[in-house]
């Protein structure tokens, strides 16, 4: 390994270590004192519940562990948005598991809590896999009720999804393992089956204090909505269990009896390891995001050895389009080539930029993968589409539109991994979050923004200078440098992948060596949901 590779490896390892510090803190939820209090109540923590439920706690894939990071400081924060979401195997079946973290504001719903829950439901719906809710929540966080209650993608959408999943035969099982109040009471009861834990579980539209205030009735919470009430009197719940462990064992037993779904028929053969040492994947991405590198080196470290069949290799070389295998699964890969390449006309083309010929090639390749029922993997390190008079005269807008059209209308599963830059319309064409990838993943080196920091700073600086000039204020060189530095700092903070992860623009920031595992798991899940519509790109501009 040469010195440059060592620097690259150190940079990505350090970036990953910083993110892991945040993740480790978030795994403690509301902190050790609150975890201890939970234990004294005879309850397991959200993560302990998940570990008991799944077949192998070491084989779960967590969604949104960095959600809500650095948000809601005026309320003491909301680690992982107060809910743990994982993809795991329960009784041999892939499931989505959603567990409220009662150590974070008693499991109350913040705006990001709703967003994370909706993403969990979306994954279950798209892939037609069971979803399990481990409910322990005080309901909507009232100081922020205006941001979570009334809009389309707010709290009520959860229950709409409950109903839609039920109509589509997607299994939902809920265990009430703590509080379940107000509107939140509908979630477990709109599931297919509901369990309730004796003494700790309770369900009611209004608690005892509110009941007294509303109608003057004095009643304790246990009689109002405890396990005995809802199992023996109201019939709201289906199973009464003694404690958390018994509830989780009952869920495992129920899941075990679910029938085998139809397969989408994605091809899988015996897996082969990629070429070279797995750890060499850390050496590929340069320390500085504007430095070029050969993206074939990245692909070689992700795909099964000797599995590539590259499509139109000599044409549109700023995008690599290739059939390959990842952990035995057949995939079609669309990757940004980050080194400078020579076009068919002898013109030098910038790496990481999508040119018209590359967009045309990708459009056709995406169509081929849809015709052949091959999942797509997008490896993003893109600074955008080519600009300038030559590109505009060549029709870059219509070429880009065709690629965006193909991505949007693709019916095979799509998986996106942001390994470096994800800027501008390049984010869209390379299947950004707006284009419904089954999983949107990122490496610690990733950055997401409308444009790069330096370009954005230059543009914003010109706007600031223009405004100052109109007011008769002169900006000298020293002030200009200070202003540019301020703009760059603010912009860089919002392009950092931690910011993107906190807003759930990505499902997970992953260790690069885990990329194959995540994609393989994702295809295995997607294989349970045959496409419900035919591939049709609609009208294309020529």
> Exposed e or buried b for every residue in 144-163, given b needs 16+ CB within 10 A?
beeebbeeeebbbbbeebbe
Q: Which residues pair with 96 in a beta bridge?
A: 87, 131
Q: What is the pLDDT of residue 251?
A: 98
Token pair recorded at residue 103: 């150590």
CA 295 to CA 292: how far, in whole Å? 9
437 by DSSP, 3-state: which?
A: coil
Number of Cα atoms under 13 Å in the Cβ half of residue 162: 21
pLDDT of 253 higher than 90: yes
- DSSP-derived letter for residue 190 is T
- DSSP-derived letter for residue 292 is -
pLDDT of 369 higher than 80: yes
- DSSP-derived letter for residue 109 is B
End-to-end CA distance of the chain: 47
Across the chain, mean pLDDT equals 93
Q: Among 108, 98, 182, 94, which Cα is nearest to 133's?
A: 98
pLDDT in tens, 510-538: 999 999 999 999 999 999 999 888 999 98
| DSSP codes, 299-352 | HHTTSPTT--EESSTTSSTTEEEEEEEETTEEEEEEEE--S-EE-TTS-EE-TT
pLDDT in tens, 154-163: 999 999 999 9
Domains of the chain listed by start with CATH number: 1-30+262-446+506-532 (3.90.226.10), 31-256 (3.90.226.10), 452-495 (no CATH)
CA 60 to CA 36: how far, in whole Å? 25
Q: What is the pLDDT of residue 1?
A: 67
| DSSP codes, 483-509 | HHHHHHHHHHHHHBHHHHHHTTSSSEE
Q: What is the pLDDT of residue 526?
A: 97
- Across 69-91, average pLDDT: 97
CA 4 to CA 211: how far, in whole Å? 68
User: Is the separation of the CB atoms in 419 and 380 below 8 Å?
Assistant: yes
- Name the CA dihedral angle for 425, 426, 428, 429, rounded to a multiple of 10 degrees: 120
Token pair recorded at residue 521: 């798991």
CA 64 to CA 26: how far, in whole Å? 11
SS3 assignment for 32-55 = HHHHHHHHHCCCCCHHHHHHHHCC
pLDDT of 474 higher than 80: no
pLDDT in tens, 303-355: 999 999 999 999 999 999 999 999 999 999 999 999 999 877 788 999 999 99
**Stretch among 70-84, 353-367, 379-393, 477-491 having the lowest mean pLDDT:** 477-491
pLDDT in tens, 401-434: 999 999 999 999 999 999 999 999 999 999 999 9
Q: What is the pLDDT of residue 540?
A: 85
> Exposed e or buried b for every residue in 306-321, given b needs 16+ CB within 10 A?
ebbeebbeeebbbbbb
Pairing label, strands 83-90, 439-442: unpaired
User: Is the separation of the CB atoms in 201 and 239 below 8 Å?
Assistant: no
- What predicted TM-score, i.e. pTM, was given to this entire model? 0.94
pLDDT of 178 higher than 70: yes
- Across 386-393, average pLDDT: 90
- Across 25-46, average pLDDT: 96
- DSSP-derived letter for residue 417 is E
CA 144 to CA 111: how far, in whole Å? 7
| DSSP codes, 140-173 | B-GGGGGGTSSSTTSTHHHHHHHHHHHHTT--EE
Pairing label, strands 309-310, 376-382: unpaired
Q: Using alpha carbons only, give the angle 87, 227, 39 rounded to the nearest 5 degrees.
A: 60
Determine phi and psi for 404, rounding to 5 degrees: -60, -40
User: Is the separation of the CB atoms in 175 and 248 below 8 Å?
Assistant: yes
CA 283 to CA 294: how far, in whole Å? 12
pLDDT in tens, 264-314: 999 999 999 999 899 999 999 999 888 999 999 999 999 999 999 999 999
CA torsion sign, 110 to 116 to 119 to 121?
negative
């Amino acid at each position: 390994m040469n010195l440059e590779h060592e620097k690259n490896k150190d940079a990505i390892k350090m970036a990953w270590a910083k993110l892991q510090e945040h993740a480790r803190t978030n795994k403690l939820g509301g902190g050790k004192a609150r975890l201890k209090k939970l234990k004294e109540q005879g309850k397991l923590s959200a993560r302990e519940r998940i570990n008991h439920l799944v077949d192998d706690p070491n084989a779960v894939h967590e969604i949104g562990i960095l959600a809500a990071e650095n948000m809601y400081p005026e309320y003491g924060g909301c680690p992982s948005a107060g809910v743990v979401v994982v993809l795991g195997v329960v009784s041999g079946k892939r499931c989505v598991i959603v567990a409220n973290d009662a150590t974070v504001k008693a499991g109350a719903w913040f705006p990001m809590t709703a967003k994370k829950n909706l993403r969990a439901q979306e994954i279950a719906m798209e892939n037609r896999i069971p979803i399990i809710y481990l409910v322990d929540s005080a309901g909507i966080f009232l100081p922020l009720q205006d941001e979570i209650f009334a809009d389309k993608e707010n709290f009520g959408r959860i229950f709409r999804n409950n109903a839609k999943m039920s109509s589509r035969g997607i299994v939902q099982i809920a265990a009430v393992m703590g509080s379940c109040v107000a509107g939140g009471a509908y979630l477990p009861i709109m599931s297919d089956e509901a369990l309730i834990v004796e003494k700790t579980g309770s369900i009611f539209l209004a608690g005892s204090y509110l009941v007294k205030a509303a109608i003057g009735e004095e009643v304790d919470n246990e009689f109002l909505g405890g396990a005995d009430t809802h199992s023996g009197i109201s019939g709201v719940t289906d199973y009464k269990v003694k404690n958390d462990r018994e509830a989780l064992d009952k869920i495992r037993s129920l899941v075990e009896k679910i029938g085998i779904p139809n397969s989408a028929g994605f091809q899988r053969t015996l897996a082969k390891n990629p070429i070279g040492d797995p750890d060499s994947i850390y050496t590929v991405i340069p320390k500085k995001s504007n430095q070029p590198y050969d993206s074939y080196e990245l692909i070689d470290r992700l795909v099964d050895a000797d599995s590539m069949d590259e499509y139109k290799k000599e044409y549109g070389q700023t995008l690599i389009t290739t059939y390959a295998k990842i952990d035995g699964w057949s995939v079609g890969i669309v990757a940004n080539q980050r080194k400078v390449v020579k076009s068919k006309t002898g013109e030098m083309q910038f790496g990481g930029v999508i040119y018209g010929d590359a967009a045309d090639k990708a459009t056709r390749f995406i169509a081929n993968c849809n015709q052949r029922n091959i999942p797509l993997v997008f490896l993003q390190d893109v600074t955008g589409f080519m600009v300038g008079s030559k590109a505009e005269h060549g029709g870059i807008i219509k070429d880009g539109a065709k690629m965006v059209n193909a991505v949007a209308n693709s019916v095979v599963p799509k998986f996106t991994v942001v390994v470096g830059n994800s800027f501008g319309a390049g984010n869209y064409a390379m299947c950004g979050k707006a284009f419904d990838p089954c999983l949107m993943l990122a490496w610690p080196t990733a950055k997401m923004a409308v444009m790069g920091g330096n370009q954005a700073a230059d543009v914003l600086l010109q706007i600031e200078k223009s405004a100052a000039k109109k007011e008769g204020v002169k900006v000298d060189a020293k002030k200009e440098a200070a202003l540019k530095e301020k703009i760059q700092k603010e912009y860089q903070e919002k392009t950092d992948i931690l910011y993107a992860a906190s807003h759930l623009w990505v499902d997970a920031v992953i260790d690069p060596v885990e990329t194959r595992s995540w994609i393989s798991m994702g295809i295995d899940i997607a294989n349970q949901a045959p496409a419900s519509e035919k591939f049709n790109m609609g009208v294309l501009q020529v």
